[in-house]
Amino acid sequence: MTKKRILSGMRPTGKLHIGHLVGALDNWIKLQDDYESYHLIADYHVLTTRLETKNIYNDSIEMLIDWLACGLDPIKSPMFRQSQIKEHTELHLIFSMLITVNRLERNPTVKDQIRDLHIEHVIYGHLGYPVLQAADILLYKGGAVPVGEDQVPHVEISREIARKFNNQYGVVFPEPEPLLTKFARLQGLDGNAKMSKSLNNTILLSDEPAIIKAKIKKAVTDPNKIRKGDPGDPDICLIFSYHKKFISAEVLEINAACRSGALGCVDCKMKCASKISELLNPIIEKRHYYEQKLNEVTDILLDGEKRARNTAQVTMNEVREKMKLG
């Protein structure tokens, strides 16, 4: 039986953080056995909010190393840069004829981005990036797309475009379903609802134990718990939210000891830091391996790109044939 295909992607922002692990990668790793997975490095998507490209290759390689270090298997799943498969731009152009400007302007995720980044003049490619994303997904006939909540509107646009194409020219594409990553976002070290590189509030997957300790030491906790002995409220504590995520075995005790005052914030933070380091240890070891073997990393990328290109070309041939553009 052939496995259902999934397409997942991330913008290359350089080294990844623990929010990426719990929010996406853990899920991708689980899915790679049951599905035929394609893992896309969305380097063109970076241009929608940043024209500067001098670090784009390095950022892509750093991200790829993190993917590999976390356990994505390059034999099972091709990993590739969007910019190296020309079919993405070709299909994007065709898809851009199948959707209205009005529809794109209603996309809540794009609207939020424009608001949060204070973008006054929206470029054409920014408004249209969900159309490029539809091409990313449908070139590989992705039937499912593992994403967080914010990407669901984009997958919906992919479905609409697939339907429109199939009705107009004949059936080529599946209508992809989002595979929701259930996990709510990991808070940033500053208490912000989102851990994000641009907010500078992250723990990187590549952070060594001493760095993790130092970062966690500075993190905010319950402001009413000033010294050990004061009762704290774990429900409003950032560190407790990490405990819940990373050390399920002891959370009940930590909860009780914080409330009673028996556990002070410093001890609690050190417990949290060592748990996270312990978890990242195998990832860091694998990262060191790949850092020493950059040739192996580029070979993995080139092989992924070859395999992705083959699949993409098969789809594009079908598209051209259906459209009488052959």
Smallest distance, ligand TRP to C-beta of residue 40, A: 6
For residue 135, state whether it binds ligand TRP (rule: CB under 6 A): no
CB atoms closer than 10 angstroms to residue 34 = 10
Q: How many residues bind ligand TRP (CB under 6 A)?
A: 14
Query: 91 or 147: whose CB is closer to ligand TRP?
Result: 147
Return the range that interacts with ligand TRP (CB under 6 A); candidates 49-57, 143-151, 253-261, 315-323: 143-151
For residue 8, state whether it binds ligand TRP (rule: CB under 6 A): yes
Helices 294-322, 87-95: axis angle to 10 degrees equals 40
Helices 238-246, 251-260: axis angle to 10 degrees equals 160
Using CB under 6 A, pick the residue from 21, 56, 64, 145 that binds ligand TRP: 145
Please give the full DSSP string across 69-137, using - where no structure is assigned: HHT--TTTS-EEEGGG-THHHHHHHHHTTSS-HHHHHT-HHHHHHHHHTT-SS--HHHHTHHHHHHHHH
For residue 161, state whether it binds ligand TRP (rule: CB under 6 A): no
For residue 239, state whether it binds ligand TRP (rule: CB under 6 A): no
The 3-state DSSP composition of the chain as helix, strand, coil percent (nearest 5) reads 60, 10, 35
For residue 147, state whether it binds ligand TRP (rule: CB under 6 A): yes
For residue 301, state whether it binds ligand TRP (rule: CB under 6 A): no
Phi then psi dihedrals of residue 147, to 5 deg: -145, 165
For residue 308, state whether it binds ligand TRP (rule: CB under 6 A): no
For residue 114, state whether it binds ligand TRP (rule: CB under 6 A): no
For residue 6, state whether it binds ligand TRP (rule: CB under 6 A): no
Q: How far apart are CA 111 and CA 76, in angstroms?
A: 36
Query: 65 or 110: whose CB is closer to ligand TRP?
Result: 110
Q: How far apart are CA 286 and CA 280, in angstroms?
A: 10
For residue 162, state whether it binds ligand TRP (rule: CB under 6 A): no
For residue 60, state whether it binds ligand TRP (rule: CB under 6 A): no
Burial of 259 (0-12, 13-18, 19+ CB in 10 A): middle
Q: Are 50 and 14 in contact (CB under 8 A)?
A: no
Burial of 233 (0-12, 13-18, 19+ CB in 10 A): middle
For residue 87, state whether it binds ligand TRP (rule: CB under 6 A): no
CB atoms closer than 10 angstroms to residue 275 = 18
Query: 42 or 219: whose CB is closer to ligand TRP?
Result: 42
For residue 261, give the 3-state DSSP assignment.
Answer: coil
Tell me the residue number closest to ligand TRP, measured at CB: 9
Q: How far apart are CA 283 and CA 285, in angstroms?
A: 5
For residue 316, state whether it binds ligand TRP (rule: CB under 6 A): no
Structure tokens at 88: 């993405």
For residue 64, state whether it binds ligand TRP (rule: CB under 6 A): no
Q: How far apart are CA 3 and CA 140, in angstroms?
A: 13
Smallest distance, ligand TRP to C-beta of residue 35, A: 14
Q: Which of residues 22-51 bind ligand TRP (CB under 6 A)?
A: 40, 42, 45
Using CB under 6 A, pick the residue from 41, 137, 212, 216 that binds ligand TRP: 137
Using CB under 6 A, pick the residue from 59, 66, 136, 222 that binds ligand TRP: 136
Return the range that interacts with ligand TRP (CB under 6 A); candidates 3-11, 67-75, 84-92, 186-194: 3-11
Binding site for ligand TRP (CB under 6 A): 7-11, 40, 42, 45, 133, 136-137, 145, 147, 151
